[in-house]
Amino acid sequence: MSTEVYRDAWGIPHLRASDARELAFAQGRVTAHDRAWQLEVERRRAQGTTAAFLGAEAVAWDRFARRSRLDDTARRCFEALDPETAAWVRSYVDGVNAGMPQGAARDPRFAETGLRTEPWEPWVPLGIWLSTHILFAGFPTKLWRERVARALGPEATTLFATDGPGTSGSNGWLVPGDRTTTGAAIIAGDPHRFIEDPGVYQQIRLSCPEYDVLGLAVPGVPGLAHFGHTGTAAWAITNAMADYQDLYRERLRRTGTLVEALGPDGRWESVQHHTETIEVAGADPVTVEVLETPRGPVVIGADEPVEGVTGASVTTTAGTTDFNTEDSEGGKDAEDTEGFEDTEEAVALRYPPRVRNDLGFAALPALLRARTVADIDRAFDGWAEPVNVVHAADTEGGLLHRVAGAVPLRPRANSLRLVPAWEPEHAWQGWAETPSEPVQGFAVMANARGIASPLGVEFAPPHRANRIRDLLTGSADWSGKDMASIHTDTHLASAAPLLALAKELTYLSPEAEALRDRLLTWNHHMAADSSEAALFASLRTNVIRRIAADPSLAALSALPTGPEVFHPWLYLVPRVGYALEGLLATDLLPDLDRPAHVRAALEELAASPLPDTTWGEVHVLTPWQALPDPEATWPGLAGDHDCVLATSSVPGVTDRTARGPAARYVWDLARREDSLWAVPLGADGVPAGPHHRDQLPLWAQGELVPVVTDWTRLTKESE
């Protein structure tokens, strides 16, 4: 059988081939045809070369990509793959290279920017996977916690702990067969990521004699890593919120071309170093120094210091440092400073793929071959990056709820803050066991504390998870179509603490009292057509800004310094916004007068005529685009950060939303053809394509597109 490409009414590709490698080639080729611009952008993000066509604003990412050695790590991981998986990935890359010329010719952005495609190396899919997930676990949060601990004391280190501005989350739930209309399980949910144009997930079906699987692929990566349905088994994931990346304080010294770092045994260790040049469209090239200590790549150096973390020069004269100066045989004593300049402070990132040369890609073809929950479980035994919670079910009644991924064993301090590289107790000591538990009743995963609690520090508040459980408990007769009512639930439980404070206030002005009373009768739903939801958001913004300006937090108010890529984690106002619920209750800030701030916020809001604005008019989708389209219009959305419909803005900064359900899925184990799915835009990455944004209106309303499995209902494409 030759390779065949079919499309459904939404332009979603369904591929058939004679074997797995030909199918991988076809997946690469059709993805390049549909999303050439996206693939080229993602390849360049992984290699740190986006500024060459996007200009100076992209330098910050390119510098981080170079310093963190993303492309080199991807190459190492590819070279460590077993031969069968490596050949499968090569076939996908060959397909991408075959499809890119035609795909690029379809997309006017190539001509607009002068961007030219280049042949992919076989490790590019691994680089795209790595660049997509390197910030997924939010290791820059440790920079923020470092600032908090220095400003407010070590006991306040986790004062702002929550699923903050840079992490990605998801909802997921598994309904066993005894709670469904068919007697077979249903798996449903939605991954929460920054909404991108084109979308980060690609609906696709992959069929060959060995398997027939449909699901959501990451463009540029073969197979179906996160969400798939094989006909007899299905799986889905959410972010486990695990902590598995460490930041090490490094002491570096130089002489001539030699760079050394102080190691955990008191010896100076060799540091790999070289320079690279970042080409910048419309500007001069930028030179970046790439350093790697035995802990890992240096991601913050003296040239971009972070306040209170790096950049200060420390003399190495005996008695002036806190170094361990005990000599070790075969190494250089920490006091051995002759010929060296003063030391620099730097921060190195240690992350599992760099340490293990493993991204877990061998799990991808194993998932495609899965027929049962046991097969899926075995496949996820080889998972590495990122760390996820997994739900799976099969047609035999098998159910699975587990964590998968690589988490190092090391002291608790490593998970909280930066740790000194020269202290031996902070070294990694093997790998943690990933927990699993039986499914009892409904299984829900929504980034809250639960099965993955031993592996993390910061988790989402329990509101989404609790709300999903409450909704599921309301029926024992669920169908696939019923899942949309959970996907779109807009109840905001985190509004209660703020409104409870407002309720206790006395001696308000008549206008403020009327506003307060209006909000107290509100149903706490962030519905798009709700003016009360918009008023609550305005009140919340006022309270957040006032708390952020309180003298008790003055030491955290400085603007971020250091690499720009980490700045979203270091601004005070967003941190207060995401952690507001906890800040309203904590006793760690005894001087913070919360009622006074709520009173002032109410009075300020009530002092002007209240706008007749609905939440959907201000909570407007604002997707990320590598090349922004100023003419594009986007819908207003329901939901909010702590709703099941998690359309996240940045409270205190903007009501516009850039993060939300990057896809929705319903996997029906009774009949795969009764499954449902949707993405924010569409199947085609080309702006003028008929399927570029045809799912957007449905997605914005929470509707789902039917999965089509009957080949006779699909349209076959000619070559």
Q: Is 685 in contact with 36 (CB distance < 8 Å)?
A: yes
Per CATH, 141-241+357-470 and 493-658 having the same topology is answered: no
Q: What tens digit of pLDDT does each residue of 191-219 get?
A: 999 999 999 999 999 999 999 999 999 99
The pTM of this model reads 0.94
In the CATH scheme, what architecture does the domain 246-350 have?
Answer: Roll (2.30)
Query: What Å distances lie between residue 509 and 547, 602, 604, 617, CA to CA?
Result: 21, 9, 11, 28
Q: What is the pLDDT of residue 9?
A: 97
Per-residue DSSP letter, 410: -
Token couple for 1: 């059988």
Q: What tens digit of pLDDT does each residue of 260-281 get?
A: 999 999 999 999 999 999 999 9
Beta carbons within 8 Å of 617's beta carbon, 6+ residues apart? 534, 636
Q: What tens digit of pLDDT does each residue of 329-383 get?
A: 334 555 555 555 578 999 999 999 999 999 999 999 999 999 999 999 999 999 9
Per-residue DSSP letter, 1: -
Minimal CA–CA distance to 203: which of 712, 714, 705?
A: 705
Token couple for 183: 């007697």
Euclidean distance between CA atoms 585 and 368, whole angstroms: 47
In the CATH scheme, what architecture does the domain 141-241+357-470 have?
Answer: 4-Layer Sandwich (3.60)
Minimal CA–CA distance to 336: which of 424, 251, 267?
A: 267
Amino acid at 199: G
Q: Where are the alpha helices (DSSP H) in 401-459?
A: 412-416
Residue extents of the structural domains in the chain: 141-241+357-470, 246-350, 493-658
| Chosen CATH of 493-658 out of 3.40.309.10, 3.40.1390.10, 1.10.1400.10, 3.40.640.10 | 1.10.1400.10
Minimal CA–CA distance to 493: which of 643, 706, 349, 303?
A: 643
Of the candidate ranges 52-56, 318-322, 615-619, the one whose mean pLDDT is the lowest: 318-322
| Count of positions (residues) in the chain | 719
Q: What tens digit of pLDDT does each residue of 158-184 get?
A: 999 886 555 668 999 999 999 999 999
Neighbours of 101 (CB within 10 A): 12
CA dihedral for 454, 458, 462, 468, sign (positive or negative): negative
Minimal CA–CA distance to 187: which of 709, 670, 695?
A: 670
